Amino acid sequence: MADPILEVQDIHCGYDGVPVIHGISLEVTPGELVAIVGANGAGKTTTMKTIAGLMHPFSGSIHFEGRDISRMKAHETIRLGVSYVPEGRRLFSKLTIQENLELGAFTKNDRREIGQSLEQVFELFPKLYDRRTQVAETMSGGEQQMVAIARGLMSSPRLLLLDELSLGLMPSLVEKVMEAVISINRTGVTVLLVEQMVQEALEIADRGYVIQTGKIVQQGTARELLDSPEVRKAYMGM
């Protein structure tokens, strides 16, 4: 197997000194699409925030492309190629789509490069091109999610972290968004995805991790997890 692009080793982290993640380890190899699934409050977002650098582990380490990023801040990790699309979209509500996207490319200084990234995301989401002068807060939930993904791509990341894309979307839109994730992954971007919609996530993923109260309780290929009776019973109501 190739060297992992992301290697999380036994991290413990939490809020105000109270741990909510109790020793999580995971690995993602270049080009993979990996899903982390689990119930509300399992610690999925906390894990993602810690990888992105919005918070730091109490112990354990995180390596990206062989480099220790455990102590780096979010505005530093994105310069290395880690982009996090946060839970709840978190668009800059009073700014236009175009301005939101430009901020996604804040790490780039070359106008031409920014133009190319814009073209790429407009190709992925043609609808956004027509809406580029619209203020973010006036868009529908589905459109906002597309902007959030597009904004996350503007820095041309090598690792894209996607948190709960399905939140608040109707099933047909969830499918569309998942398709977009597949096509992003096909362009060579490694994807680590967090979802409560376990089935939908595992259907597009190569591998998956199941997390429960801050620990990984199961892992394997997406197929294995989809077929696992425990997973089916706990998360798919079957």
Partner 1 sequence: MATFLQVAFDGLLNGLLYALVAAGLSLIWGVMDVINFAHGEFLMIAMYFSYWLGFIWKIDPIISSVAGGAFVFIVGALTYRLVIRRTIGKSAMSALLATFGLSMLIKNICLNRFSPNFRLLQDTLLGGKTFNLAGIIIPVPQLVIGLVALALLFVVYRLVKKTRLGWAIQATAMDKEAAELMGINTERIYLLVFGLGGACVGIAGGLLPSYLAVHPEVGALFSLIAFVCVAMGGFGSIPGALLASLLIGLVEAFAGFYIAPVFKYVAVFGLYLVVVMVRPRGLFGW
In the complex, residue closest to Mg ion by CB: 45
Stretches 97-105, 125-133, 170-178, 226-234: which one binds partner 1 (CB under 8 A)?
Answer: 97-105
Give the other-Cβ count within 10 Å of 94's Cβ: 9
Q: How far is the CB of 52 from ligand ATP (least distance, A)?
A: 13
**104 scored as a contact of partner 1 (CB under 8 A):** yes
Edge to edge, the sheet with strand 215-221 lists 82-85, 159-163, 190-195, 33-37, 207-212, 215-221
**190 scored as a contact of ligand ATP (CB under 6 A):** no
**127 scored as a contact of partner 1 (CB under 8 A):** no
Task: By CB under 8 A, name the one of 29, 39, 56, 102 that touches partner 1.
Answer: 102
Give the other-Cβ count within 10 Å of 20's Cβ: 16
Give the other-Cβ count within 10 Å of 116's Cβ: 13
Alpha carbon distance 67, 54 (integer Å): 17
Residue 179, judged by CB atoms within 10 A of its CB (0-12, 13-18, 19+), counts as exposed
Q: What would the x/- binding string for partner 1 be over residues 31 to 70, using CB under 8 A? A: ---------------------xxx----------------
- Residue 78 binds which entry of ligand ATP, partner 1, Mg ion, none, with Cβ cut-offs from 5 to 8 Å by kind? partner 1
What spatial distance separates the first Cα and last Cα of the chain, rounded to whole Å?
34
- In degrees rounded to 5, what are phi and psi of residue 117? -60, -40
- Of residues 17 through 76, those in contact with ligand ATP by CB under 6 A are 20, 38, 40-46
Q: How far is the CB of 103 from partner 1 (least distance, A)?
A: 5
Q: What is the contact surface with partner 1 in residues (CB under 8 A)?
A: 52-54, 73-75, 78-79, 83-84, 86, 90-95, 99, 102-104, 106-107, 151, 155
